[in-house]
Amino acid sequence: MRLWIKDPIAILAEHAGSGIVVEDGIIVELVPSGKKPMLPVEQTFDASRHVITPGLVNTHHHFYQTLTRAHPDAINKELFPWLRALYPVWAKVLTPDAFRVATRLALTELMLSGCTTASDHHYVFPEGLENAIDIQAEEAERVGLRMTVTRGSMNLSQKDGGLPPDAVVQDEDTILADCERVLSRYHDRRKGSKLQVALAPCSPFSVTSSLMRQTAELAESHDCQLHTHLGETHDEDSFCLEKLGRRPVDYLEDCGWLTNRTWLAHGIHFNDDEVRRLGHACVGICHCPTSNMVLGSGQCRTKELEAAGCSVGLGVDGSASNDNSNLMEGVRHALMLNRLTYDPASVTHLDAFRWGTEGSARCLGRNDIGAIRTGMMADLAFYTLDDLRFSGSGDPLAALVLCGAHHADRVMIHGDWTVTDGQPVTVDVERLRKEHGEAAKRALEAV
C-alpha cells in the first residue's frame, strides 16, 4: 500500500514540499513542491495541518525513575547526594509489576512528544527484577516504539568502595551471563529492526574495570553498541582520580571503550585533549540538557565534540532528574542551553533537531532512522500549530522549538500510526495514569 502524506505546512527534509510517499514502512519518494508522486498511490493523508519532522530518537533514559519524580528526599541536590537519596527507595519499590507500568508510562510519554525510537539505560536489579530487560522488550512491542534496550549493570557497591548499596548490584558472572542471554534473544541487527540490545555498565563509580573490559569484548563478539555514563560531574572526576588514579576518559581507554561502538551519557567535563581523542575514536555523546540543568551538572561541549568527530545526540535522562520524558522539550532545552554556552548565531533550531534525530541515530549505531530520505524507515512526528503559543509564528519548523511544541498530534513508526489525534493507539492513558499513580504512591510511602 503506497501512502502519500500530502502537502504539509512544512517538513524537515529537502525537496519534499508536497510531502512524501510511504510503502511497506519505508519512505520511497520525496515529492517536491507543486508536484505529485511519480507512481500511483492507493491512499492519501492530508497533512495540511501538520509540520512534519523525523521521529525523535532518545538515546538516554531511566524508565524506572518515573516512579520517583520530584521525590522530596532528592530535589535540590547534585548527582551524588541525589543518587544516595534514591538508591534505597528504588531497592524497595522496583517490583516487576511496578517496573512494567513505569516502563509503559515512559514509552508512552516519549511517543506522545514525537519520539519514535528510545534507548533506556537500566542498571538497577534488586532481587526479583532479574528479568527487567524482558519486561522492557515486551512493553516496547506493546506500545509500538522502536527501541534499543541496554542491559545495564552495577557490581561495585558501597562495601567495595562504590556508590550504590548492596541491594541493587549483581556479581560479574551473573551480569555477563544475562548479557549473553539478552543479546541472543533480542538483538536484531537487520535494517528496520524494532528491537536491538546494547551493553551498559552504569558508571566508573559503580562497576569494576574487569566488568568494563569483559563487556567491551562481549559487545565486539555480538556486534552491539556500548553505553555508560561519563564526564557528568566533577565528583566523578575526583572519584576516578582517587580510586583509579586517572581521569574518566583515560579509564575508558584502558578498558577498551574508545571505539565507535560507544556512546556516552552527558559528556560534560572533558578537556581539549579528551575531546580530540573521543572525536578521533568516533565515540557518540548523548547530551542531556534538561537533566544537566536540574542537577546543576554543567554544560556539554556539543560544538567542539561534533567538530572533533563525535556524533552528538539527545536524551531526556531519568525521569527523576528531568522530571519528565518529553524529548521535544529536550530539543528546545538543547537550543537554549547551547545558546547560553555559545551564542545565538552558532546554535540554530536545525542544530537542535539534528541532535535529536540523525545525531541520536548515529549514537545508537543506526543509519536507517533519524532522517526523512528515501530508503529510510517511515518514522515521523506530526505537530500542529493550533495552540495559542504558535499564533503569529513565521517559520513553522523554528516555531516548534522556539514557541515550545511539546505534544505530537500524530506519530508514525515503521509506517504504522501509533498516535492519532494526540492519543496513543495501543495504550489506555487513563488506566495507565491510575496504575502508575498507585505504584508511585507506594514508592513515596517506602521512604
Of 24-38, 70-84, 173-187, least confident by mean pLDDT is: 70-84
DSSP state at residue 327: H
Could you tell me what percent of the chain has a pLDDT over 90?
91
Measured in whole angstroms, how far is the alpha carbon of residue 198 from the centre of its chain?
A: 13
Of 116-125, 251-260, 273-282, 316-325, the poorest mean pLDDT is in 316-325
- Do residues 191 and 26 make contact, with C-beta atoms less than 8 angstroms apart? no
CB 377 within 8 A of CB 57: no
Q: Is the pLDDT of residue 443 over 90?
A: no
List the beta bridge partners of residue 406.
Answer: none
How much is the pLDDT for 446?
Answer: 65
CB atoms within 10 A of CB 391: 10
State residue 388's pLDDT score. 98
Provide the mean pLDDT of the chain: 96
Task: State the span(s) of the chain assigned CATH 3.20.20.140.
Answer: 56-363
Per-residue pLDDT tens over the stretch 160-197: 888 888 888 999 999 999 999 999 999 999 999 999 99
Helix (H) or strand (E) holding 89: helix 79-93
What pLDDT is attached to residue 163? 86
pLDDT single digits (tens) 228-255 = 999 999 999 999 999 999 999 999 999 9
For residues 259-277, average pLDDT: 98
Q: Which whole number is the average pLDDT over 370-389? A: 98
- Over residues 352-356, the mean pLDDT reads 98
Tens digit of each residue's pLDDT (9 = 90 or more) over 91-138: 888 999 999 999 999 999 999 999 999 999 999 999 999 999 999 999
Half-sphere exposure of 10 (CA within 13 A, CB side): 12
Placement of cell 488506566 in the chain: 431
Residue 25 has pLDDT above 90, yes or no: yes
DSSP state of 66: G
Percent of the chain with pLDDT over 70: 100
DSSP state letter for 246: S
Q: What is the pTM of this model?
A: 0.97
Angle formed at CA 372 by CA 366 and CA 377, multiple of 5 degrees: 50
The Cα–Cα gap between 83 and 81 comes to 5
CATH code reported for the domain at 56-363: 3.20.20.140
d(CA 31, CA 6) in angstroms, rounded, equals 9
In this predicted structure, the answer to whether residue 146 has a pLDDT above a threshold of 70 is yes
Read off the DSSP letter of residue 146. E
The dotted CATH code for 2-54+374-424 is 2.30.40.10
Q: What is the pLDDT of residue 91?
A: 87
Within the chain, all domains assigned CATH 2.30.40.10 are found at 2-54+374-424
